[in-house]
Structure 1
């Protein structure tokens, strides 16, 4: 049975170091769309080398830029990847089977994270991310920093598949991202009126560490898994610490 036509969508900005590996693993799809934000390296040339349809638009935010790229697709089904993500061997066949007669609005694909000098162990828990979806049944939400695809209809996780995110090659990069992301979440949490900030700041970080390191089996990745779990707990702490700080500043300004 023939599968549904598939478009891969990637947004880019100076991703020459990772884009070739990303696109090499999806050269079997019906269409590759790359929406660039004005790269000054060889990103665009690499995309065109892989037969991608390339457009350029200034970056305004992650969510709107991704949605803009989805709207460029000619096909109903979209595989959404970042420029530093690579499909693992065997995932192509699983995706193609899922699209032979799809009754779901979308499919989650588990992601393995790069943990500095290694990659997350296959036997540790992998979070499923909604990356394969029918664009007429969903699109990007408007959550700051962590904008993601949402669909109307049933969603299934393809547990036998996965992809690797190769974004954080060292601890310094992870710490910089944690600082930036935690600042970006403050406005969203202020709008939601999240309560008990102090209590969350005290309780959530150690619980997050235990869940990540033991329950999600990050210990299988050795010291890299331990460090990633500690930094994840620090991110949870920093989100609520910055929210507490913003609330104090807002109260003093009244």
Structure 2
């Protein structure tokens, strides 16, 4: 690698993430700065963050977008890598990021994400959704989508396909189902505000189409029964979103 790269701040928000934070921070200990914004953890989360040299602050949690934006504002470097506390960079991703930051040609970079599928990790040859996580904070900020808030940047975005990270959060089926129940409830107000139409038709037809897209087109079948279960739960999440939206509209009419 020729030339000096842009210094990097890694930004993580936490709440009782002692089970996953150690691996998350160990994989980014090469960054110039680690910022952890905690929401009042009662476990060893803050202790783990400080052991990894992170700059730690505490602020009550209001929502994902505002909390992430608050943490991004704490960073001292222009380039930020935004991670969740249960996400771990894969081996080799550091080198890809450092090459990109040697002479950045975009306002932000997407990194493919592999999911933990209960008893296994997503196969590299199944489709990996890419998420904008590495960006110039002078040109980007979190949007206001509830639950699934994400970074948006003013400028070109590229995908670093040779890099990826693993979402290590859902270690069993019960955890995944509990999460989609919470997330689907959190999306109701947002969908009501967007006045999405044809809720009933979406509720009937979109879940099976989603399953087929995940399991076949995105090659989740490469993950065996774990891929089948993940595809089925994803389809159920789609169903829940529109079922709860339909319910909210019916109750509103009363």
Partner of 2:64: 62
Unaligned runs of 5+ in 2: none
Offset of 1:251 from its aligned partner?
Answer: 1.1
Alignment partner of 2:51 out of 49, 64, 69: 49
Provide Cα deviations, 1:211-238, integer angstroms capped at 9, x if missing partner: 0000000000000000000000000011
Matches within 5 A, 1:102-251: 102-251=104-253
Unaligned runs of 5+ in 1: none
Offset of 1:123 from its aligned partner?
Answer: 0.5
Matched residues, number: 252
SS at match of 1:108: strand
Offset of 1:119 from its aligned partner?
Answer: 0.5
Provide Cα deviations, 1:124-180, integer angstroms capped at 9, x if missing partner: 000000000000101100011111111111000000100000110000011111111
SS at match of 1:99: helix
SS at match of 1:103: coil
Runs of 4 or more consecutive aligned structure 1 residues displaced over 6 Å after TM superposition? none
Alignment partner of 1:10 out of 12, 23, 33: 12
TM-score, reference length from structure 2: 0.98
Equivalent-residue separation in structure 1 for 2:49 and 2:92 (angstroms): 23
Provide Cα deviations, 1:36-80, integer angstroms capped at 9, x if missing partner: 111111111111111100011111111111000000000000000
CA RMSD of aligned residues (A): 0.6
Equivalent-residue separation in structure 2 for 1:15 and 1:190 (angstroms): 32
Equivalent-residue separation in structure 1 for 2:138 and 2:105 (angstroms): 14
Equivalent-residue separation in structure 1 for 2:128 and 2:217 (angstroms): 12
Equivalent-residue separation in structure 1 for 2:207 and 2:15 (angstroms): 33
Partner of 1:32: 34
Equivalent-residue separation in structure 2 for 1:144 and 1:20 (angstroms): 27
Offset of 1:17 from its aligned partner?
Answer: 1.0
SS at match of 1:180: helix
Offset of 1:103 from its aligned partner?
Answer: 2.1
